[in-house]
Structure 1
Amino acid sequence: MRNKTSLPSDTSSNDSHGSSLEAPPRPGAGAPAPGRQAPSRRGHFKSRLGCFSCKRRRVKCNELRPECSPCRRLGLACVYPNSAASSSTPIRAALSSLTLEDLRFYHQFLTTAFPRLPLRGGQIWSQAAAMSYSYEYLAHAVLGLGASHLSQNGNTDYTTQALQHRIIAIKLVNEQLDHLPRSPADADALLATSMCLVAQSSLMPDSMVDYLTMARGANLVATTVVPDFQRSIFRTFTPEGHLESVTSMVCELPKDLQLVDDFRSSVTKLEPICQKTCELKYLAALLRCVEALRASSLDAWKKFVSVFMLPTCFSNQEFLCFIDPENHAGHLLIIHMFLLDYMLGRFCIAPADEPPCPGRKKVIISWTKNMAKALPRDFQKYLQWPLQYCEVLALQDARYLLSP
């Protein structure tokens, strides 16, 4: 029986999904798992369509065209068998020679830009970064996240480069999700890529809905693609492991009960416009979280995890309805969740665990202000408290509950 996702949730969707990062296919659904092949001396699986150079050297060929990564790296002639050359496999964009900017993006990822989950997981992400040497889609995801992080926290705008890496990473990983991973490393690379894409979404000014969609996709990758967390570099990234990490980090810091009451009042005002079941579930989860804070910071954090994971439990129809641009109630609930993340951070997280850069906080504030510009006049009153809190948040540190 497989371990569940990186964060605990009570239920899961029973709907089937297409083969994309946002909704990867469930292994074994409709087709038997492929037979295991005998590994070579160096632990790689044999490639039937690999190039001649890789076959001769007995190394794994990633079958990129027109030139695979190992051949490009070593300057070898990359020639495929006729059967491979005549196949319908699309030509895919590959990493060109690394530029100085790419090296800067990679360094930013290693030092500060890696995802905040697993909690205190810097060493795990160092291992994941090393894996990008062998996985093209992971390399692009790492570089894209590093570029977005520098854009938000530095003095230079690398938005164009960040989007280029992101687009390629999504394209390549979606192709990989059409096939079962052949090794634990393959599964780890897919999960690491999806988590990097989620983290990058939180640094993009117009990506609130994209963030939720990517988080839903990453959850599905974790629950369906990683066959055995005990053999994974993310072995601590299970509900049990996450709870253990949370328990070791949480602090019972002084609470501003007036702020708690103001948040609760703002959420309660949304009740008349929440008509759909998914909206009412989300509203109730927000209220349970803020009420738990009165008794225990740890209980509040646990309840917040349930709030964050709730959209991954919606059916496809519920989720699409929840994030629909015309669903103003859904979007108001979502922005309250992001602000609650920072409100609770000041009551649960010690200053020593504050993220080193405030870029994500700035993006959340911009999402709130952009929503205020887009909402119809009749809905503007529901953003009164969120906008007031954003003015306070802008002057505070960047502590939050370390969601992706």
Structure 2
Amino acid sequence: MTSDNNNSISEDSLTDNQSLSPWDFASDSSIIVPGDHRKQQKTRKLTPNLTRRSHKKSRGGCISCKGRKIKCNEEKPVCQSCSVKGLTCIYPTEQPTRKSSLPLLRRNPATAPSFPQATFSILDMRFFHHFLTIAYPHLPVDNDQVWVHDIPQFAEQHEYLMHAILSLGASHLSRLTGVDYRKESLVHRGHAIAGLNHALSQTARTYGESDAMLASCYALTFQASYMGDGLSDFITMIRGCALTTEKIHQEQALTAFNLQPDTHINFMASRLQHLPRVDPRLLEDAYIALEEIRPYLADDTHLDFHDALFDVIVSLQTSPASGYLRFIDLYGVWYELCNEAFGTFLDGNNLVSQLLLAYFVGIQLLMVPLATQESSNRADVSRVRVLYGIIEWAENIFERLETSDLEAHLTWPRTIVATAVAEINGEVLQLPPVLQLHWSSRDITPQTTILDPPWAEIAVS
């Protein structure tokens, strides 16, 4: 990736050695002196040619001396000043500190994220802030407040969730700015997956644990969509979302998320009639191309996934709403596979699966304008760059199949990807639009809203 000159923060100023301790954000709180002590204070007015003599702050002084802003000699049980003035000498029982509002700070070493030596890097702070303001998932739908308020709190008790959050923030920020944060993102991703696998193996659940697992699955799913080589990870985490949701339903676990089976459909009900239509020429070409690859399908998994792709195209020809609903069902094919069949389907040497996934990526891009309705309140045209992640998915498949007999059947997905890239770059199109961007004649700022890539809700009834 190339560096983006519009970056608001100079990346040269951020080094791996820069870190902050939680205590860097804490300072002594002001001591509140009881009213009877305040009454004994007298205002002293200095003559014009004199100034108050400075002295070192007394960190462990008594309350009376602090209230009168004089140096305390800290003698116990009664300091010298209080003894002379006949005042009651009381020392604070503990040194007060201001509690930070930053969720990342390690307030309780026993439960908070164990960053090395109770520190975290400035980049991690930036990734976390980016997650909270821009990059948090819009799925499950209508749960934005949970992502912003509840999930960061759960991350204090579940380190793997914090790593998932930071990994997502790093990958999303990398796509938006052009600055390469892949190393940081992959390190956090590795810790997140290891911790998530351990959490899933446990049986006892307290409040927040189920949310931590599901939030990690969704965060890692979205994060994989920004990785050019993350298609297999994305599909695996989609399956993880479904399995975790099912586990939550079976255990009847309390969650902050709203996970009712019909939530997604009910949320989208009023929006379905306003979805934009996909150009019929693109759908007709997809229909023909999918028919042509049918003879290559080698097993039941290929047949089922091909049928699911075909159903989306046929339904989109009927109406955008019908196509959107079929698109949601598409992900169920992966969820319903046994482990062995799932592993076989994802094998990079399974060229027929790779061909089907090329069509899947093409359909993903077709669905982008429809999926904006899932989170229209988070409209931000600048985020169109994140789509390069799934574009790179397709390009990797094209490269893998270029020496095989199946390469001839990549015409339709190649056309879809090339058109999407041209739209993102503001080029004049020779073919029907895929992303349905409309460019101004004076600049290259997209005038329609593009959100994150469209991932269907994984709800297990």
What is the TM-score when the length of structure 2 is the normalising length?
0.64
Q: 1:145 touches 1:197 (CA, 8 Å); kept in 2?
A: yes
Q: Quick one: distance in 1 between partners of 2:209 and 2:177?
A: 33
Report which structure shows greater RCO (CA 8 Å, sep ≥6).
Answer: 1
Structure 1 residue 274: deviation in Å? 0.8
The answer to whether the Cα contact below 8 Å between 1:115 and 1:199 also exists between their aligned partners in 2 is yes
Q: Whole-Å Cα distance in 2 between the matches of residues 255 and 348 of structure 1?
A: 12
Q: In the superposition, relative to structure 1, how do residues 243 and 112 fare at CA in structure 2: closer, same or farther (>3 Å)? A: same
- Runs of 4+ with deviation above 6 angstroms: none
- Residue pairs, 1:197-276, within 5 angstroms: 197-225=220-248, 231-235=254-258, 237-250=259-272, 251-276=274-299
Structure 1 unaligned regions, length at least 5: 1-69, 79-92
CA RMSD, 1 decimal: 2.5
Matching residue within 303, 313, 327 for 2:336: 313
Alignment counterpart, residue 114 of structure 1, candidates 112, 131, 136: 136
- The one-letter amino acid of 1:248's match is S
Q: Secondary structure at the match of 1:73?
A: coil
CA displacement at 1:227 relative to structure 2: 5.1
Residue 226 of structure 1, CA deviation: 5.3
Which amino acid counterpart does residue 153 of structure 2 have in structure 1? A
1: CA distance, partners of 2:322 / 2:225: 25
Give the deviation of 1:392 after TM superposition.
0.9
1:401 paired with 2:421, answer: no
Contact 1:249-1:349 within 8 A present in 2 as well: no
Which residue of structure 2 aligns with residue 390 of structure 1? 417
CA distance in 2, matches of 1:145, 1:198: 9
Amino acid at match of 1:165: H
Matched, 1:369 2:369: no
Identify if the C-alpha distance between structure 1 residues 166 and 230 changes in structure 2 by more than 3 Å, giving closer, same or farther: closer
What do the CA deviations read for 1:171-226 (whole angstroms, capped 9, x no partner)? 11212222124223111111111111111111111111121112112211111145
Cα-to-partner distance string for 1:58-97 (whole Å, 9 max, x where unaligned): xxxxxxxxxxxx9x93587x8xxxxxxxxxxxxxx93231
- Deviation at 1:230? 7.8
Cα distance change of structure 1 residues 75 and 258 upon mapping to structure 2, 3 Å threshold: closer
**Sequence identity percentage:** 26
- Aligned position for 1:73: 106
Tell me the alpha carbon deviations over residues 14-42 of structure 1, each in whole angstroms, 9 at most, x when there is no partner. xxxxxxxxxxxxxxxxxxxxxxxxxxxxx
Relative to structure 1, the CA distance from residue 118 to residue 263 in structure 2 (aligned partners, 3 Å threshold; closer, same or farther) is: same
User: Structure 1 residues 108, 347: CA separation in 2 closer, same or farther (over 3 Å shift)?
Assistant: closer
Once the 2 structures are TM-superposed, how far is the Cα of residue 355 of structure 1 from its aligned partner? 6.0
Contact (CA 8 Å) 1:205, 1:366: kept in 2 or not?
A: yes
Moved more, 139-148 or 383-392: 383-392
Is 1:150 equivalent to 2:173 in the alignment? yes
Quick check: which has more Rg, 1 or 2?
Answer: 2
Q: Which amino acid aligns with 1:369?
A: E
The change in CA–CA distance for 1:258 and 1:162 in structure 2 (over 3 A counts) is same
Larger displacement relative to structure 2 (300-309 or 358-367): 358-367
* Equivalent residue in structure 1 for 2:115, among 95, 98, 101: 95
Select the residue among 300, 303, 312 that pairs with 1:277: 300
Q: 1:360 & 1:372 partners in 2: Cα distance?
A: 20
Change (3 A) 1:181 1:116: farther
Q: Note the C-alpha offset of 1:228.
A: 6.1
- State the 1:352 CA deviation: 4.6
TM-superposed CA distance for 1:294, in Å, is 2.4
Gaps of 5+ in 2: 1-102, 424-434, 438-449
Residue of structure 1 equivalent to 2:384:
358
- Cα 1:242/1:229, change in 2 over 3 Å: farther
Structure 2 distance, partners of 1:203, 1:282, is 23
Where 2:157 maps in the other structure, the secondary structure is coil
